[in-house]
Structure 1
Amino acid sequence: MSPTSLPPHRRVIAVIVLIPAVVALALWAFAWPASRTAPHDLPLGLAGPAAATAPLERELAHQKGAFDLHHYADEAAAREAIEDREVYGAIVATERGPKLLTASAASPVVAQLLRQAVTEQASASGREATVVDVVPTTEKDPRGAVLNAGALPLAMAGIGGGVAVTLLGLRGARAVGALTGSATLAGVVATALTHSWLEAVPGNWWAVAGTFALTALAMSAAVAGLAALVGRAGIALGSVVIMLLGNPFSGASSAPEMLPAPAGAIGQWLPPGAGATLLRSVSFFDGAATAGPALTLTWWAALGLGAVLAGGALKERGTDPRPAPEREAASLV
């Protein structure tokens, strides 16, 4: 039964109930993580002899559950761990006082948080802390604003691709070709703007373009695949997952470990979060720690495209899973 077949009074009630429900969901998805932004088992390194790092560890332990501490023998090992994306930063115990190593490219918010915490602790003990940014952001975008701001347009482009393929009635191989082509072009355009023009996202040009393209494909294929299997309702379901869960849970503006549990973990299993993490690794860390997010995006894209092909095959056999009114409307396209 289509929505327009409902009696008018029921349609009025549906609108009255549905809109507040959507507003509540959106506020929960965006406001809850934002209001609870704080370190939650944030990977942080401690470098130096055990006797020298013990006081630092005791001070950090006062913030229960805030940090996941990793111990390193010296500063060189701590730097390597930061460059490999094992930790967001490290505190090196020296005779002159603590030396903080950060990576603003991994998260400007985390780098600022660590800088403030360490300098305040050092000042309280009458010492001065040295801060070194091991993996900095670019000079053109010192706050990482371009990468953060790019998450929403990319999500919209991904959803738009899936919606367009569905509403235009493309099926099977044609739908797969359209999704792949649009995602590829979106990756090229995004890289031309952020890498070549704004100079905010460094790294290998083609690797960055591939990351943008794979992220867009994962989202558009998910929307189109759901629509191919369950009808137009799949568009709404895919959009909710990507926009109202994937975007605020991505940690793109801070870090996954800065979000309340389990939002940060969920976000890394969704295309927006995996895409943001992969882009940082490709752009600033020479591809370190790319396996996880790359696999996440790949299986989203593969499952989505597989669903598109399956939905097209079912329709060709006359067993389209969509409701009859939607099948009739699609046949007129």
Structure 2
Amino acid sequence: MPSTSTRHVIAVVVLVPVLAALALWAFAWPAARTAPRDLPLGIAGPPAATAQVEKGLERHEGAFEIHRYADEAAARDAIEDRTVYGAVVVTPQGPELLTASAAGPAVAQFLQQAVGRQAAAEGTPIKTVDVVAAPASDPRGAALNAAVLPLALAGIAAGAVVTVLGLRGVRAASALLGASALVGVVAAGIAHSWLGVLTGDWWAEAAVLALSTLAVSGAVAGLAALVGTAGLGIAAAVVMLLGNPFSAAPSAPQMLPEPAGAIGQWLPPGAGTTLLRSVAYFDGAAATGPALTLAWWAALGLGAVLLGGSLRRRKTGSAPTTDDRKLATVG
């Protein structure tokens, strides 16, 4: 029978490649399969005039979810409300493509290529108008994409520190709330005030960043409070191996293979990114869904922290003390 040290060596040799394969799948698979899947796209104009445009878009089978609007104003409103990512408008002067690079520069670029290629094939030049433009300091959305990982790491670190320091119950919850609030303020100061990559209401952005951090830290500390230190690894793995690569920060949920896009929006990094875009660039449009997702994660996490502390106190209080055991022995 192999010795304990030999079994440990075998475990490391087997486990490391498995973890590497899992990480490679989680990060490389969505990136390699990025393509539109029922991407919401508007078409505006007289039905007779838009029929040919719609027919051309149908060649991209399964790529677009078509929304029809009466005129350009309605299409612009839909883009600003985050109902669609762009719209093709047929006007007497020729077709126009309305995009919103703030909703995802990669999506806007794809629409320009797909619609522009179709227009070029038909010999019709098309004008592109960026209705909600990304900030000039971050035209490609690189800074927003780069912020996903640090926020996730901050949440994991906060949950881990609270657990390692042995904070329980109300003290642990207070520490998580305070740390998350401070992260939100610092992150907003860097991203908005210094770098200028966020352009919405400063306090609303700070609140979103804080809530995103709290959702992660609460999940990490809460699971650890219920199942022990193994909960740290489980929660961290879910956030890092699923939440981060499935967040769709570089593009949009509809650009990821299913079910990655849907899963990502139910996890804190994806919901936080979507909510931050809404608050920073769209005056809070379509913010309810991701805000509720983050709130549920935070509430469940803090609830687990409080429950774990209560269970631990109850268990400690019911355990016989040394004096009790001595009295029982004498009796």
Q: TM-score, normalised by structure 2?
A: 0.93
> After superposition, where does 1:292-311 map in structure 2 within 5 Å?
292-311=289-308
> After superposition, where does 1:163-242 map in structure 2 within 5 Å?
163-242=160-239
Letter matched to residue 290 of structure 1: A
SS in 2 for 1:250: coil
Match of 2:140 among 138, 143, 157: 143
Cα distance in 2, alignment partners of residues 9 and 314 from structure 1: 38
1:122 aligns with 2:124: no
Match of 1:35 among 23, 32, 42: 32
Match of 1:97 among 94, 97, 108: 94
CA contact (8 A) 1:225 1:308 kept: yes
Question: Which deviations, in whole Å up to 9, do the C-alpha atoms of 1:108-167 show, x marking residues without a partner?
Answer: 000001111122221222221010000001111111111111011111111111111111
Cα distance in 2, alignment partners of residues 195 and 184 from structure 1: 16
SS in 1 for 2:303: helix
Cα distance in 2, alignment partners of residues 16 and 168 from structure 1: 32
Task: For residue 295 of structure 1, report the CA deviation from its aligned partner.
Answer: 0.2
Letter matched to residue 42 of structure 2: G
Task: For residue 98 of structure 1, report the CA deviation from its aligned partner.
Answer: 1.6
Aligned to 2:75: 78
1:284 aligns with 2:300: no
Aligned to 1:330: none
Letter matched to residue 269 of structure 1: W
Cα distance in 2, alignment partners of residues 102 and 55 from structure 1: 20
Letter matched to residue 123 of structure 1: A
CA contact (8 A) 1:249 1:267 kept: yes
1:155 aligns with 2:152: yes
Q: Return 5+ residue gaps in structure 1 as ranges.
A: 1-5, 321-333
Aligned to 1:325: none
SS in 1 for 2:35: coil
Letter matched to residue 263 of structure 1: A
1:247 aligns with 2:238: no
Task: For residue 171 of structure 1, report the CA deviation from its aligned partner.
Answer: 0.6
Cα distance in 2, alignment partners of residues 127 and 67 from structure 1: 21
Q: Which moved more, 1:84-93 or 1:16-25?
A: 16-25
Cα distance in 2, alignment partners of residues 91 and 220 from structure 1: 42
Which protein is bigger by CA-based radius of gyration?
2
Aligned to 2:328: none
1:64 aligns with 2:61: yes
Task: For residue 319 of structure 1, report the CA deviation from its aligned partner.
Answer: 6.7
Cα distance in 1, alignment partners of residues 228 and 256 from structure 2: 34
Q: TM-score, normalised by structure 1?
A: 0.93
Aligned to 1:25: 22
CA contact (8 A) 1:249 1:264 kept: yes
Q: Which moved more, 1:123-132 or 1:268-277?
A: 123-132
Q: How many residues in Structure 1 have an aligned counterpart in Structure 2?
A: 315
Cα distance in 2, alignment partners of residues 106 and 77 from structure 1: 18
Q: Percent identical across equivalent pairs?
A: 66
Task: For residue 12 of structure 1, report the CA deviation from its aligned partner.
Answer: 1.4
SS in 1 for 2:101: coil
Task: For residue 316 of structure 1, report the CA deviation from its aligned partner.
Answer: 0.6
C-alpha RMSD over aligned residues: 1.1
Cα distance in 1, alignment partners of residues 243 and 119 from structure 2: 38
Moved over 4 A (4+): none
Letter matched to residue 92 of structure 2: E
